[in-house]
Chain A
Amino acid sequence: MLSALAVEAPDPRIAAAARGDRRAAEALCRELLPRVRNLVRYLLRGDARVDDVAQEALIAVLRGLGSFRGEGRFESWVDRVVARTTFARIRRIRAETQPGEHAPVEGAAGDELGGETYALRRELAAALDRLPTDQRESLVLHFAVGMTVPEIAEIAAAPVETVRSRLRLGKAALREALGGRDGRVI
């Protein structure tokens, strides 16, 4: 498993892919794709563009492999690349979207394959879809990508206290959306 290898020593496929080894790159992409798609979905409103953006993000990962120095987990590095790529896309989408126009908020559970975890994450994504973008981004970067508040502040070009505030508000909104019903989720 990619993550296990990455913790102990850099996965040799990373260097091989960076040198242009297609097999290694393909293997990495196949392993990373579910994670990348999930992160993109957390960041994007709705499902429509997930695969498109995930593909862009994988391209960015492959192109940036040479800059991965083996410091820290490979997956963490990938997450940051994916987040940056997705933000770039979100900004383009935002620039193209009329004020007040949003992608439809899609259903959470009930229409899907998968078990309870999947249903819960769909519900979480649907709740994120209803949050202001700034709060959503802060929550995902903090809880999914593992960024610290100062790191988020840097990427969001916002003061640290603003990010803290977004996190507080976002968490409260999520608690209301998810935990309010049965008091169990958060």
Chain B
Amino acid sequence: MGESSDRELERLFDLDDAAGPARPIDASRSAAIVAAALRGAGFPPGGGSSGGSGGAAGAKSAIATRLALVASGAVLAIGAWLLVRTPAPAAELPAAAPAPVVQPVEPPPPAAAPASAAVAPGASEDEAAPEPPEPPEQAEQPEQGDAPTAPPSPPARTRTRPRQHARVEAPRTPAEAADLLARANAARLAHDWRAADALYRRVARGGGGNGLAAQTALVASAELHLEHLGDPAGAARRFRAALAGGAGEALAEDARWGLAESARAAGDAAAERRALDDFLAHHPASARAERARTRRAELGAAP
């Protein structure tokens, strides 16, 4: 094949306009994708110009409107949550999620985790930071996923419960919660997952009186446990707690999706089927719905 055919191929592969090969989508779908990308990149909710007419876009538009009415702390909270819920920054190095960072965190992680759980927080974290009750229908979900999936690390931690309680002191005001969220963001951007998680968990304890900030922080913490701390069971507990705590539409979508991802990460096909069914029942027009259906089909019928 010579140069002329190469030029033909270049012309054929041209990306200059909308003439394929991606299937055409309508304006509302385009708007929904753009709006979701803006949120995912941490842009504050806009005035509705980017919202789509239905499905995920409608839900996101609704929460954007709601957020516009709450305190600035909640807006910051959403920003924090969006930074966490989206994939790791990919502009320069998108190949994979960064490996969990194993390093001392001040204040230190919880005490009950075994030495081999250096990168996977144990259940003690949940004890240190009580969360809302979990939905009963999820109660049968196995907890053995708490076992760390990451390789053992040197025993570097001797932790005491009094220090944990000092660490998870709840914020007293929305402004304090917003400040904690900003610090959590910074820790996350520095890939200091544990420090970020500790801060999110503090906000999750009431959000300084801002329930939305608390739920947002809870989902953010769950995402960290799922994506970076190798703790799908802990992530699932947090997602369930966020749902039980009355997470708004957009948060609920993330929480339900997170439950499916957590089950998948834990290798629990039955729980993943249930979570996907639940997700599709509640969010059939979500941008993730196609993925959910595909994955659900892969899993097949329950045995």
CB within 8 Å of B: which residues of A? 3, 20, 22-23, 25-26, 29-30, 33-35, 37-42, 47-52, 54-65, 67, 75, 79, 81, 84-85, 87-88, 91-92, 112-115, 117-122, 124-125, 139-140, 143-144, 168, 171-172, 174-175, 179, 185-186
Contact = CB atoms under 8 A, between A and B. Distances in A.
Contacts of A55: 33, 36-37, 40, 287
12 contacts: A22-B38, A26-B34, A38-B18, A48-B290, A48-B291, A56-B86, A62-B40, A63-B91, A64-B92, A87-B95, A118-B21, A124-B12
B10 interface: yes
Interface stretch (B1-9, B109-117, B193-201, B242-250): B1-9
Contacts of A144: 13-15
A67 B92 contact: yes
B94 interface: yes
A7 to B, nearest CB: 13
Give 6 closest A-B pairs by Cβ, nearest first.
A64-B91, A62-B41, A60-B90, A58-B37, A125-B21, A121-B20
Contacts of B41: 25, 58-59, 62-63
Nearest to A157: B95
Nearest to A75: B15
A37 B16 CA distance: 11
Residue from the set A33, A87, A113, A168 with the largest chain B CB neighbour count within 10 Å? A33
A124 B22 CA distance: 11
Interface of A is mostly: helix
A26 B38 CA distance: 7
Contacts of B291: 48-49, 52
A81 B93 CA distance: 9
Contact of A22 (B19, B25, B30, B46): B46
A98 B83 CA distance: 31
B61 to A, nearest CB: 14
A49 B290 contact: yes
Nearest to B289: A52
Contacts of B95: 84, 87-88, 91
A172 B2 CA distance: 11
B19 A186 contact: no
A52 B87 CA distance: 12
Nearest to B96: A88
A125 B290 CA distance: 20
A48 B288 CA distance: 10
Contact of B8 (A30, A81, A119, A185): A185
